[in-house]
Amino acid sequence: MRAVFINQCHPEMPHVCSLRVGRFAEALVASDHEVILLVEAYPRDAPCPSPESVATKLIAHDWTKPFILPCRPQGFVKAQRARRGHGNVLGRYATIAKSFLVDGGMFADWRKGAETYFDTIVKAFAPEVVWGTFGNTDTWTMAQHLAKKANCPWVADFKDNWNAFVPDGLKHLMARQFYDRAHMTVLSKSHLDEADRWFGGAKTVLYSGVDPSKEMENPAFRIVITGSVYNENRLAQLVW
């Protein structure tokens, strides 16, 4: 299977947002699938390949590992400023509303940069499925657009809380934008309950983290923490 995975966070980014999709891509190539991982450049000023060179790189790629395709954000300065909290309140609200309703989300600069590669991906790779993860709605918008170009299904991965990440008044409206997805994967059973509030259709729980089928080496009591540790002092308090 030829798949394109879309996630804003580059796998080299030291943040939990980079782990789920990157590890899943590695798992699929280990099962002899071919995966392009479409991400934002990290750091943001890191060099990115030209669309013309990507076709050649795809031919020469070693498919025992994912093909990492970093994209440099382009334009949408007002959205960038609003994300950083710059400008007056009314101006930010207007930019946020326009970004979601017109541009597909708050990270349209990343989407614009990534879409410069879509024609090349379709012609040189011919994806059979596109899988986009919700850390922002732009990822799903991109997955939707790429799948339409490639005439293939797309899957919406629900790894973050829709209620927390989409502004009030836009939650139902934005959810309806993604009606044409072929399926939905969710991070956990609690995420399944949250996704059912906003999206109909079939869903599959796809856990990140520890494989529950793995047995411990000994019966000692263990606590497993999945995700990222942002504060070592709080971790120490939890442990001790």
67-100 confidence digits (pLDDT tens)? 999 999 988 889 889 888 888 888 998 999 999 9
Is residue 223 over pLDDT 90?
A: no
Q: What is the pLDDT of residue 217?
A: 64
CA distance to 23, 43, 99, 226, 233, per residue, from 30 (Å): 11, 27, 38, 22, 37
Most confident of 32-41, 94-103, 210-219: 32-41
Is pLDDT larger for residue 16 or for residue 215?
A: 16
Q: Which of 183, 206, 196 is nearest to 131 (CA)?
A: 183
Residues 6+ positions from 19 with CB-CB distance below 8 Å: 11, 208
Q: What is the pLDDT of residue 15?
A: 82
Q: State the chain's mean pLDDT as an integer.
A: 90
Q: Which of 101, 107, 103, 114 is nearest to 49 (CA)?
A: 114
Q: What is the pLDDT of residue 129?
A: 98
Query: Residue 153 in 3-state DSSP?
Result: coil
In angstroms, the CA 126 to CA 123 distance is 6
Residue 212: other Cβ atoms inside 10 A: 7
Residues 130-147: what's their mean pLDDT? 95
Query: Residue 128 in 3-state DSSP?
Result: coil
Is residue 60 over pLDDT 70?
A: yes
Model confidence band, residue 211 (pLDDT cutoffs 50, 70, 90): low
Residues 125-130: what's their mean pLDDT? 97
Residues above pLDDT 90, as percent of the chain: 65
